[in-house]
Chains A and B, each alone.
Chain A
Amino acid sequence: MTRSMRSKNCRPKQTGYNKQVLTEEKLKELELKAEAIRETIIEMLVTAGSGHTAGPMGMADIFAAFYFDILKHDPKNPAWEDRDRLILSNGHIVPVRYAAMAHAGYFPVEETKTLRKFGSRLQGHPERLRLPGLETTSGPLGSGLGQAAGIAYGARMDQKKFHVYCAMSDGEHDAGNIWESAMFAGANKLSNLTGVIDRNNIQINGMTEAVMPLENLRDKYEAFGWHVLECDGNNIAAFIDVVNEAKAIYEKPTVIIAHTIPGKGIKEIEFDYHWHGNPPNKEQAAQWLAELRTLKGKIQSEHQ
């Protein structure tokens, strides 16, 4: 299956940019990485006994795409000056970042089991100074986009070529700080900045549109001077495609509204906001890991 076939229903419009082909082999590798990340997330959460499940599972495909295809980075030299920056604004989904970083070689996968434990580099919410490669410290919502915009602004002052990404949740768009930063990035036409919104429609108190309606998110960002793209955030090929398209937008910052399914990969918890902030117990974890391994088998056979 080619990349364009997989993504044809997800593209808002065909722009004709970037004809480089994501080979079937590469796509299979990325999908397997996403499954490995999901398995690691479940193992981490059950060991930790607390933490967020739905968000990290839903974002596993996007983080696999970032760490194994999109980002210009070096796991052995996390402070490399010209690396792309990925700012995680909604710090509570950090298990997905830890898992992706471990699989990418930043630190041993075994260390992910220390999540949320005393003395661990893997704090409950990410801290830049504790673990090289985290880029910033986050958790309290709404503060990442401003930091990403600050980095993008500074980089542009120095004609740096790296790109800045900011992963955000949909729920944190309730926060005023996000819109202050969106206004700033739009006003300054920060085209070296790409925002990614995990549009999974859930937040702690319920569905986003019930808690505090966010729609029309596209119109809001456009009104703030952004270019807006949408895609299926659980379709790796589609996501890589829109990220490439975002890089071709020179006049504005771009935001990708990535439609994801919270808890993706585990049928029992998909799209259930009760799983926002809870970890699985041991029995659930065993059952879910079995489910994921079946899925892994499916990916392997699908690509054969």
Chain B
Amino acid sequence: MLNSDAKLRDDLFDSKEQAATRDGFGAGLLELGESNPNVVVLCADLAESTRVLAFKEKYPERYIEIGVAEQNLATIGSGLANYGKIPFITSYAAFSPGRNNEQIRTTISLNNVGVKIAGAHAGLSVGPDGATHQALEDMALMRVQPNMTVLSPCDSEEARKATLAAAAHPGPVYIRLAREKTHSMTTKETPFEIGKANVIWESEHKPEVAVFATGPVLYQALLAAKELQFKIPTVVVNVSSIKPLDRETIFMLAQDARAVVTVEEHQVAGGLGSAIAEFLAGEYPVPIEMIGVHDRFGQSGTADELYKEYGLHHGHIAEIVAKAQARKQGI
């Protein structure tokens, strides 16, 4: 059942309410515009689709247009942060941190200045645009840079909170955002903290499998847990802070369940699956099944079609949970 401490929507499974994580980001920026005069927003010719347009219209003097120049987006952002501003640099994840990775590495991460990088349209669910625009390696690129914090919110409300938390955090932060409207799961009261993972679903009995998911695909993991509730007890965890990882919670739940499944709309290499496997291999080795993209590029299609093709659909997640349980039992 849903974890009451997480203060999720009561109607989580019944509600049709959907919003995109990029919308929550835009809402967060508007709040910051009001509360923090040091916040500036830079955009590489994608103001509407990265949802910074409202900020631009309300605070034009703090909106900086960069044009289609993502390397410059990073270096101008670095200079502004070095001077003392809190710059949010926004584009699609495929271009930032995709195209400008070296500029981020040298002038933001190694330089340790507080640039907030928002990568929109990440993951497969951007759909019809196809593989060129489906960033599936952005978390990997950002996770391997020292000093960088990596956030991957699960819904619009959590994206709003992640945006506020990024501005309050002194160092560089990457926020991963999606284009598609997805299920709203969390509420204003749901806890969010950089470095904390939140348990969203707990079975009545001791869990047989711990499912760690990140981003909007968390909803699919929840559906899978619900389908399995009378067969395989599970615990489902929202890992929105990819770095730093909540080692304490992950360790405790892996110890409890002794079998782990990870779910992400990203390459499993370098993403959430890798992060958890790297940690547990050293601290508490258990069978791990990684659901995500396995060394392939994306392609055009609807989000639903792509979720099915790449194994992110709840039906497939349920199968893999069963497989993890069987592996644990040596079957």
Q: Which residues of A contact B (CB under 8 A)?
A: 87, 127-129, 135-140, 142-155, 157, 176-177, 180-181, 183-184
Contacts and interface: CB of A to CB of B under 8 A. Distances in A.
A127 B75 contact: no
12 contacts: A87-B79, A137-B111, A140-B106, A150-B83, A151-B80, A153-B64, A153-B76, A154-B85, A157-B40, A157-B85, A177-B75, A184-B76
Contact of A153 (B79, B84, B106): B79
B112 interface: yes
Contacts of B84: 154
Most central of A140, A148, A184 by chain B CB within 10 Å: A184
B111 A129 contact: yes
A181 B72 CA distance: 6
Interface of B: 40, 61-62, 64, 66-67, 69, 71-72, 74-85, 87, 102-103, 106-107, 110-112
Nearest to A176: B71
Contact of A184 (B72, B81, B85, B102): B72
Given A137-B111, A146-B76, A153-B64, A184 B69 contact: yes
Contact of A148 (B62, B69, B79, B111): B79
Nearest 9 CB-CB pairings of A with B: A150-B79, A146-B75, A180-B72, A154-B83, A147-B79, A180-B69, A137-B111, A150-B76, A177-B71
Nearest to B68: A180
Given A147-B82, A157-B61, A180 B111 contact: no
Contacts of B62: 157
A154 B111 contact: no
Contacts of A181: 72, 75-76
Contacts of B102: 140
B111 A151 contact: no
A147 B79 CA distance: 4
A233 to B, nearest CB: 24
Nearest to B85: A154
Given A177-B75, A180-B71, A150 B106 contact: no
B105 to A, nearest CB: 8
Contacts of A139: 106
A136 B82 contact: yes
B103 A149 contact: no
A183 B66 CA distance: 9
B96 to A, nearest CB: 13
Contacts of A143: 71, 75, 78, 103, 106-107
Contact of B80 (A138, A142, A153): A153
Contacts of B69: 180, 183-184
Contacts of A137: 106-107, 110-111
Nearest to B84: A154
Nearest to A144: B75
Contact of A151 (B61, B67, B83, B106): B83
Contacts of B83: 150-151, 154-155
Contacts of A147: 75-76, 78-79, 82, 107
Contacts of B61: 157
B78 A146 contact: yes
B87 to A, nearest CB: 8
A202 to B, nearest CB: 23
Given A129-B112, A150-B83, A151-B80, 11 more contacts: A138-B107, A146-B103, A150-B75, A150-B78, A150-B81, A151-B82, A153-B76, A153-B79, A154-B40, A157-B62, A177-B103
A151 to B, nearest CB: 4
